[in-house]
Amino acid sequence: MKLLLLCLGLTLVCAQEGNSGVVRSNFDIPEITGEWFSILLASDDREKIENGSMRFFVEYISLLENSSLFIKMHTKVNGVCTELPLTCDSTGEDGVYTVSYDGENKFRILQVNYSQHIIFYLENFSDSFKLLELYAREPDTSPELKNEFVEICQKYGVVKENVIDLTKVGKLSYLWLSLPEVPCC
Ligand SMILES: *[C@@H]1O[C@H](CO)[C@@H](O)[C@H](O)[C@H]1NC(C)=O
Ligand SMILES: *[C@@H]1O[C@H](CO)[C@@H](O)[C@H](O)[C@H]1NC(C)=O
Ligand SMILES: *[C@@H]1O[C@H](CO)[C@@H](O)[C@H](O)[C@H]1NC(C)=O
Ligand SMILES: *[C@@H]1O[C@H](CO)[C@@H](O)[C@H](O)[C@H]1NC(C)=O
């Protein structure tokens, strides 16, 4: 009987975890708009996120009338933190967008919990390097979510050494700027 109860208990726990609000398809795009913080950034081409064009920090996402996304980013240009406004056009495919930035890129939403986090996967069409991003609604996330992201990166062929934690960088900038709401580089 005790064993049966234990089994039942475990099943309930598992059922709840599986139902934790993480969406992997049929995305409700208006729900992904609003403020986000860059948490982790990963690429098979480490230079691009270490000190390159793909080292960017998100501020917010908004939805345009024509179903394109407007994503306001920040990136360093010649050592100066600069606004990077990106317009990303819908491909018509669920959660898949194109963006012209340093080449033609296509990205997709891998998973989202609208009130907690979102994971994007980006591929440069011609160069075909990979980029994965974890954004959260808060300036930092749980170590569990970070670990899960690292596992997802590995599935996409990005080694864990190539996952950069941007929260440290961000926090330092916040202190310096005394502007907690501005994500910087
Ligand atoms: C998101 O995550 C929180 C905390 O795990 C959970 O309570 C919530 O139901 C999830 N789903 C959505 C859609 O926000
Ligand atoms: C980053 O790139 C800039 C411009 O190419 C260079 O001047 C700088 O030394 C680089 N910094 C690091 C830490 O690699
Ligand atoms: C959607 O609207 C934005 C802003 O007006 C524009 O920059 C973008 O090119 C449009 N995209 C398409 C596919 O029409
Ligand atoms: C993306 O591909 C284009 C075309 O090959 C290339 O010019 C561009 O440098 C690539 N972008 C990045 C960030 O590597």
pLDDT digits (tens, 9 = 90+) for 6-65: 444 444 444 444 446 899 999 999 999 999 999 999 999 999 998 888 999 999 999 999
Ligand 1 close to Cβ of residue 113 (< 6 A): yes
Cβ < 6 A, ligand 4 pocket? 48, 53-54, 102-103, 124, 126-127, 129
DSSP letter for 2, please.
Answer: H
Nearest protein Cα to ligand 1, atom 11: 21
Mutate to test the pocket of ligand 3, among 61, 68, 93, 96 (most ligand atoms within 8 A of CB): 68
First to last CA, the chain: 57
Domains of the chain: 33-177 (2.40.128.20)
Nearest protein Cα to ligand 1, atom 10: 21
Which amino acid belongs to residue 103?
A: G
Question: What pLDDT, on a 0 to 100 scale, did the predictor assign at position 51?
Answer: 82
Which H or E element spans position 165?
strand 163-165
Nearest protein Cα to ligand 4, atom 6: 103
Mutate to test the pocket of ligand 4, among 47, 126, 129, 130 (most ligand atoms within 8 A of CB): 126
Question: What pLDDT, on a 0 to 100 scale, did the predictor assign at position 169?
Answer: 74
Question: Is the model's pLDDT at 106 over the cut of 90?
Answer: yes
Mutate to test the pocket of ligand 4, among 104, 105, 124 (most ligand atoms within 8 A of CB): 124
pLDDT band at 100 (very low <50, low <70, confident <90, very high): very high
- The pTM for the full model equals 0.80
pLDDT digits (tens, 9 = 90+) for 60-77: 999 999 999 999 999 988
